[in-house]
Structure 1
């Protein structure tokens, strides 16, 4: 589905470019048994990021995480756990098209999946597994934020909701 056809694309078209919209979405951290994290290189801005995207009408937040991971990597998470929620004033950001959003993102950790890794999709130009101390650049700030949330979850075993 194209951006224009998506729920958030249609909502943005109705609201115009200047309104701050709330975007509900999911981020999926796929971690293999070697402790590596799967990152994608986004086709829209060239930055490395974690698979993520917006909730579509009718989706559950878990379905959103699974769909976004599959769309961006070819992998379908089969074991995933919600580890954090990001929301609030500190999640407000403006994208490269000048659209401002306040995000409400559920972060999931996926430890099992099916499928074969696809490195190029409509939304990505590359993908790969990286140890946290050997991440590629340039990358979105959300990668560091995600690693911090994952480290806290690993340390405490407690769902993080800052």
Structure 2
């Protein structure tokens, strides 16, 4: 709310988690919201430095008073929340684009008798609903989540509410920094593994950090993670991929990064593997100082890499190499 005083109602990107809880009859647990009186799955924005599963457990407890021992993140790609259809305008006029993940778990129907939402007023009522008899839902994020569950039992997708076109691609985080300064902020984005015919990995030495990193960058409001990956890959390298395969999503306190200018970001990042690359490698002027192709045993040392997120991305790639026949 402090940010809104200076940012106004303009769209922000909200890193959030949705919590899908079902009972033994396949019904889904929904809350009637205090802001618009409509229904949604439990969930909400991550706290700074929080990972998605921790956020899911916290939001479930705050909004229902319940815990779910078997709560897990859905697998990619159905877990990912992104895209222009996940625009939401709150009753007070504040606009957001929801990005993040979905968690899923099961509880007995009788668990609802123990429900005790906190006193914030976010939850007016809790109820189990059959997937073929859902109430009026609050926003498209909820409709997309319910569509995932409905598809599992052969039900058709829910229609989405119309949304305004997203703003043109610019430099959202740069504009936001003018308002928030150096303080920590979630930075949703994507990184891309690009390999050549010798199975060497492409790394870029970044102009700001002078460290080795992967092609990638930040998400713009209304953009999908895959669109970010494709856009940043082309901007930084001149290459395009016929297909981008999602491998893993990263978030949590270990992925906080401080830039040389003092800006602090909490990365929320999807890692993609680029398939069927085309184009000529053309480093982005000023942004990329150097490019290099590295075999699995030739990668730069950890101190030469641009933070823990990139180190985790490279570990994921190395693990994939070790499992190949």
| TM-score calculated relative to the size of structure 2 | 0.43
Structure 2 counterpart of 1:73: 237
Map 1:3-152 → 2, pairs under 5 A: 6-17=171-182, 19-136=183-300, 138-141=304-307, 142-152=309-319
Cα separation, partners in 2 of 1:78 and 1:122, compared to 1, 3 Å:
farther
- Paired with 2:295 and 2:320, the residues of 1 have a C-alpha distance of 17
2:220 and 2:288 mapped to 1: Cα distance?
A: 20
Alignment root-mean-square deviation, CA: 2.1
CA shift, 1:81, in A, is: 0.5
What is the number of equivalent residue pairs in this alignment? 152
1:106-128: CA deviation from partner (whole Å, max 9, x where unpaired) = 00011222210013523102212
Provide the C-alpha distance between the structure 2 equivalents of 1:20 and 1:83, rounded to a whole number of angstroms.
26
- How far does the alpha carbon of each residue in 1:95-153 deviate from its partner, in whole angstroms, 9 at most, with x for none? 11111111100000112222100135231022122212113463324443212112345
Asked which structure has the greater RCO (Cα within 8 Å, sep 6+), the reply is 1
Unaligned runs of 5+ in 1: 158-162
* Aligned partners of 2:204 and 2:212 also within 8 Å: yes
When structure 1 is superposed on structure 2, of 139-148 and 80-89 the one drifting more is 139-148
When residues 23 and 120 of structure 1 are mapped into structure 2, their CA distance, relative to the original with a 3 A threshold, is closer
Structure with the greater alpha carbon radius of gyration: 2
Query: Is the contact between residue 191 and residue 217 of structure 2 (CA under 8 Å) also seen in structure 1?
Result: yes
Which sections of structure 2, spanning at least 5 residues, go unmatched? 1-169
SS at match of 1:132: coil
Structure-2 change in CA distance of 1:87 and 1:156 (3 Å): farther
